[in-house]
């Protein structure tokens, strides 16, 4: 006879995994979707496959780590306690996804487990301290690397890559032979095709990394309690993640791909390379990587860096308009920029080269969206931690 408590635990674990799919697909494929490279449906499919591969290969190690290192005594992961922890992880992630601001699954899961550890006196303060330190340092590193690239290197990168979306489909299917085969679209350039492969490939790598680190957030408590085996847990969690990637993730992809700024392909590649590199480095040293926050701050940092080269100097000098900072610079792939004049060149000449007009308001950096994203990514894990701690303190060990 099936234990009703186990059934309830599996339902909640699937709910958590569903929200993980919604929260992590945006950071991985938001840049590609925002650049118009792939559709949200294709992004969800790629996320599903790559997540499972990461979970099945490397993720099983993270499942063991999450259940053994954060708390000194893994025996605290009883089946009822595991269900309570999963409940707070899933509830906190749902809040983030409904708001359209993707929450960090790693931070939320660690927070909920930390609440259990604090309530039972089994939290390993050294381990949690190291994790928190890297969570503070890594977004700062990502942000300033993106700012420097946006301010000083983006123009050079853009000229080298020179990728712009052409009219018509990127890839077509030719059915003249015995088997249908993909072929470049009628207006697709070689550089555009290569750039598309690069940005989608990096998204797949991030999805693989997400599977390696995030499947533990959904199934580690149940596997640690011995209620579910490792392999069945990975399969169940990955299927639920796929469901989230194909449904609720559409809103988070919209937030990271369009609401903050409309990314051209060059910017999407830069963001993906920066964020995935930082995530891989953190994973290599055993830190649960919060690539939700890293990807977000890289998008903002790159936009801010680019915007410093879009100040209408001549208009400001003549009093026609005040200088404005615009992340809309990201939306103008290859567009001339307005900066300091070269020797012998006047501000009027510089303004003329860049038209001297501020970008349209629709291309301006949206501070309200960015603040909402950053706040929710910090509030959601705090809610999970506090809720889990209070539950175990008030109710006692279960």
pLDDT digits (tens, 9 = 90+) for 309-364: 644 444 444 444 433 333 333 333 333 333 344 344 333 333 333 333 434 433 43
Structure tokens at 190: 């070689």
Residue 296: predicted pLDDT: 77
252 or 361, greater pLDDT: 252
Q: What is the mean pLDDT of residues 242-262?
A: 71
Structure tokens at 49: 């496959």
Is residue 252 a contact partner of residue 26, using CB atoms and an 8 Å limit? yes
User: Is 140 in a helix, a strand, or coil?
Assistant: helix
Return the minimum-mean-pLDDT range out of 38-42, 215-219, 335-339, 387-391: 335-339
Residue 366: predicted pLDDT: 58
Q: What is the mean pLDDT of residues 34-38?
A: 73
The share of the chain scoring above pLDDT 70, in percent, equals 68
Is residue 96 a contact partner of residue 102, using CB atoms and an 8 Å limit? yes
- Separation CA 395–CA 139 (nearest Å): 36
Pairing of strands 171-174, 181-184: antiparallel
- Separation CA 275–CA 38 (nearest Å): 19
What element of type H or E holds 171? strand 171-174
- Separation CA 139–CA 134 (nearest Å): 9
Based on its alpha-carbon atoms, the radius of gyration of the chain, rounded to whole angstroms, reads: 23
Structure tokens at 267: 């910017």
Give the count of domains, the chain.
1
- Separation CA 292–CA 298 (nearest Å): 10
Length of the chain: 398
- CA distance from start to end of the chain: 22
Is residue 52 a contact partner of residue 281, using CB atoms and an 8 Å limit? no
Structure tokens at 204: 């797949």
Domain limits for position 222: 4-395
Instruction: Provide CB contacts within 8 A for 16, sequence distance 6+.
Output: 86, 89, 90, 93, 217, 218, 240
> Tens of pLDDT along 111-146?
888 888 888 888 888 888 888 898 889 989 999 999
């Amino acid at each position: 006879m099936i234990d009703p408590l186990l059934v309830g635990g599996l339902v909640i674990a699937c709910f958590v995994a569903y929200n993980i799919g919604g929260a992590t697909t945006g950071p991985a494929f938001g840049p590609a979707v925002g650049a118009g490279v792939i559709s949200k449906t294709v992004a969800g499919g790629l996320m599903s496959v790559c997540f499972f591969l990461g979970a099945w290969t490397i993720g099983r190690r993270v499942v063991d780590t999450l259940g053994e290192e954060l708390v000194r005594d893994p025996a605290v992961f009883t089946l009822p306690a595991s269900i309570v922890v999963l409940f707070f992880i899933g509830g906190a992630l749902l809040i983030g996804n409904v708001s359209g601001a993707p929450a960090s699954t790693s931070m939320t899961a660690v927070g909920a487990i930390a609440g259990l550890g604090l309530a039972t006196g089994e939290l390993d303060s050294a381990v949690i301290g190291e994790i928190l330190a890297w969570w503070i340092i890594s977004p700062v590193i990502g942000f300033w690397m993106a700012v420097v690239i946006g301010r000083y290197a983006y123009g050079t990168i853009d000229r080298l890559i020179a990728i712009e979306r052409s009219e018509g489909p990127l890839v077509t299917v030719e059915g003249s032979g015995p088997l249908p085969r993909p072929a470049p679209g009628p207006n697709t350039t070689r550089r555009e095709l290569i750039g598309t492969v690069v940005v989608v490939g990096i998204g797949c790598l991030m999805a693989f990394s997400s599977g390696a680190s995030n499947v533990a957030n959904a199934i580690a408590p149940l596997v640690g309690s011995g209620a579910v085996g490792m392999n069945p847990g990975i399969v169940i969690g990955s299927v639920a993640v796929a469901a989230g990637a194909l449904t609720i993730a559409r809103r988070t992809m919209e937030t990271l791909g369009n609401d903050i700024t409309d990314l051209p392909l060059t910017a999407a590649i830069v963001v993906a390379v920066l964020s995935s590199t930082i995530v891989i480095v953190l994973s290599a040293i055993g830190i649960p990587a919060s690539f939700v926050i890293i990807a977000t701050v890289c998008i903002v940092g790159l936009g801010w860096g680019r915007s410093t080269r879009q100040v209408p100097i001549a208009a400001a000098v003549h009093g026609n308009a005040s200088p404005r900072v615009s992340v809309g610079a990201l939306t103008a792939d290859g567009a001339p920029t307005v900066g300091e004049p070269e020797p012998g060149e006047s501000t009027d000449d510089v303004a003329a080269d860049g038209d001297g007009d501020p970008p349209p308001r629709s291309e301006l950096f949206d501070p309200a969206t960015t603040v909402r994203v950053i706040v929710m990514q910090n509030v959601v894990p705090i809610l999970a931690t506090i809720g889990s701690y209070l539950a175990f303190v008030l109710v006692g060990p279960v």
